[in-house]
Amino acid sequence: MKFFDKILIANRGEIAIRVMRACRELDIETVAIYSSADTNSLHVKYADEAFPVGEAHPSKSYLNIERIIDIAKKSGAEAVHPGYGFLAENYRFAKICQDEGVIFIGPRSKTIQAMGSKIDSKKMMKDAGVPVLPGTDDGVRDIEDAKKVAFEIGYPVIVKASAGGGGIGMQIVNDEPALEEAITASMRIAKSAFGDATVFIEKYLVKPRHIEFQVLADEHGHAVHLYDRECSIQRRHQKLVEEAPSPIMTPELRERMSSAALKVAEASAYSNAGSVEFLYSNDNFYFMEMNTRLQVEHTITEFITGIDLVRQQIAIAAGESLPFDQSDISIRGHAIECRINAEDPFNNFSADPGKISRYRSPGGPGIRVDSGIHMGYMIPPNYDSMIAKLCAWDSTRIEAIKRMRRAISEYIILGVQTTLPLHYAIMNSPQFIEGNTHTHFLQEEHIIKTLERYKRDEEARMQTLAGSFGQGKKVAAITAAVNVYLQHQKE
């Protein structure tokens, strides 16, 4: 079924290619846009047509609404897919698309606007009977009021930007004397990052799990969930490893959480793909926010459900009804995603853009790699540091972990520092293997110790890698992979 003739992808990198892949399978022509930093990027080559959109800085290219609409019209694209990031959660962009007669592949502008405010969406969900964390109902206006609320809910509390995203502007406050300064800092950061200084306070959970539900809703009032993902392994409140389903999920908890997720979709008259994020602690869960777009980690949901989320997004935007009911959707096996960032995990995750001098991606059964990089590619310093997503699927969680270790051992990325060694440490950590994760997992002693072992020098790291893998044939296999790696390292 052909839903559109031509779609413009208002994004770059791996997610632009991911959307184009769905389009190619649907016989839909694709239009890429690219900044001056992306002239040689893969998404430009993959598309049927490509248009320059401006200078490297996102505000002058991937966020230039007027220019993007102009290109959509000029190229004859009937719809725009925003990917994630950039304009994906910009309600003005969705509205302008609509006004200009270009279909925005995502929820309605009004829904994006309502969910874009953490304060308003929390209020809406509280009214709909979805559990939320205690805190201020509105933005903080008066420091004495804020102190009163914080005292009532009890420290620690977290100060968050209402318009926030990417973990930016969050401040954890352990006691009253630190509150005022945290609020001021959070307001300042929120103002400069989001143009809106509104902040609020909520109870801070010390070691919660981040569990989210994927939902899909069509424009005719049908909504389903596509089960859960756990995204507790984070650095700076940003996800690094995700898995589906959550290792702690039980039928009873899933029933409770998925009903809440569908209630969120219903209360917001949702359409298209979205994710409902919860924090989980001591058998309780709390609505945190809804992301009104495709998530980075949609890949693992695709693995366990067999449903192509981008294809569904396009079909929904074309006015199609969902082709399945809740009872048609089941899950099979377990999937894990490791975000490969060009960052130095040994140096506080500082970004490490540059040229990729050697590149070989893994393959084989149950492996999926989504990336926009290749040998010789120059990673521009202007954008997010995520360069690839490595996903592994297998019939059980432990087998998926082992498959992920195998894939990491095959993955060669030289020329820049990446998070690959850290992922190897995580996949070998007994706590992770037990499913014992929480949002402060990476700050725990055991991971730091494993990382320090890796840090000594590259060769010792590789030996550790081989040694920690196990015995016999596995060691031989990984040692061979390590030797290839070291060989390239010397060249």
Nearest approach, Cβ of 439 to ligand ADP (angstroms)?
4
DSSP codes, 283-342: TEEEEEEEE-S--TTHHHHHHHH---HHHHHHHHHTTPPPS--GGG----SEEEEEEEES
35 forms beta bridges with 54
Choose the stretch contacting ligand ADP; rule: CB under 6 A; options: 4-12, 82-90, 162-170, 338-346: 162-170
Kindly name the residue from 12, 209, 254, 293 that is annotated as catalytic. Answer: 293
Q: Please state at what angle helix 420-427 crosses helix 458-467, rounded to 10 degrees.
A: 30
List 24, 95, 237, 488, residue binding ligand ADP (CB under 6 A):
237
Residue 141 is a catalytic residue: no
Tokens of 82: 């925003």
Closest separation between CB of residue 209 and ligand ADP, Å? 9
Query: Does residue 154 interact with ligand ADP by CB under 6 A?
Result: no
Stretch binding ligand ADP (CB under 6 A), from 164-172, 258-266, 347-355, 472-480 = 164-172
Looking at residues 188 to 207 of the shown chain, list those that interact with ligand ADP (rule: CB under 6 A): 202-205
- Residue in 28, 140, 279, 401 binding ligand ADP, rule: CB under 6 A: 279
Q: Find the binder of ligand ADP among 30, 234, 341, 417 (CB under 6 A).
A: 234
123 binds ligand ADP (CB under 6 A): no
| Cβ–Cβ < 8 Å for 317, 103 | yes
Measured from the CB atom, the residue of 116 and 415 that comes closer to ligand ADP is: 116
The one among 133, 215, 294, 427 contacting ligand ADP by CB under 6 A? 133
What are the residue ranges of helices labelled H in 31-165?
42-46, 65-75, 91-99, 109-116, 118-127, 143-153
Give the residue with the Cβ less far from ligand ADP, 248 or 329: 248
Residue from 77, 158, 294, 314 touching ligand ADP (CB under 6 A): that is 158
Q: Any idea which residue has 């302008």 for tokens?
A: 96
DSSP-assigned letter for residue 36: G
Per CB under 6 A, 210 contacts ligand ADP = yes
Is position 51 an interface residue for ligand ADP (rule: CB under 6 A)? no
Per-position x/- string for 431-470, each x denoting binding to ligand ADP as judged by CB under 6 A, each - no binding: --------x-------------------------------
**Cα separation, 150 vs 485, whole angstroms:** 52
DSSP for 438-479, please give it: -TTGGGSHHHHHHHHHHHS-HHHHHHHHHHTT-SHHHHHHHH
439 versus 468: smaller Cβ distance to ligand ADP: 439
Q: Using the rule CB under 6 A, which residue among 13, 208, 366, 421 binds ligand ADP? A: 208
Q: How far apart are CA 423 and CA 244, in angstroms?
A: 17
Q: Of 41-49, 121-129, 163-171, 375-383, which segment contacts ligand ADP by CB under 6 A?
A: 163-171
CA distance 390 to 408: 8
Q: How far is the CB of 288 from ligand ADP (least distance, A)?
A: 5
**Which amino acid does the sequence have at 79?**
A
Name the E strands within 165-302: 171-173, 199-203, 209-217, 223-235, 238-244, 272-281, 284-291
Under the binding rule (CB under 6 A), the answer on residue 167 touching ligand ADP is yes
Q: Is 289 in the site for ligand ADP (CB under 6 A)?
A: yes
- Exactly one of 114, 223, 288, 416 binds ligand ADP (CB under 6 A); that residue is 288
Q: Which is nearer to ligand ADP, 205 or 425 (CB)?
A: 205
368-387: contacts with ligand ADP (CB under 6 A): none
Rounded to a whole number of angstroms, the minimum distance from the CB of residue 234 to ligand ADP is 5
Size of the site for ligand ADP (CB under 6 A): 20
Residues whose CB falls within 8 Å of the CB of residue 45, separated by 6 or more in sequence, listed in order:
none
Burial (CB count within 10 angstroms: exposed 0-12, middle 13-18, buried 19+), residue 135: buried
Cβ proximity of 148 and 134 under 8 Å: no
Supply the angle between the helices 13-25 and 309-317 in degrees, to the nearest 10.
Answer: 70
- Joined together, the tokens standing for residue 371 give 């990336």
Q: Are 56 and 39 in contact (CB under 8 A)?
A: no
Q: Contact positions toward ligand ADP, by CB under 6 A?
A: 133, 158, 164-168, 202-205, 208, 210, 234, 237, 277, 279, 288-289, 439
Active site residues: 293
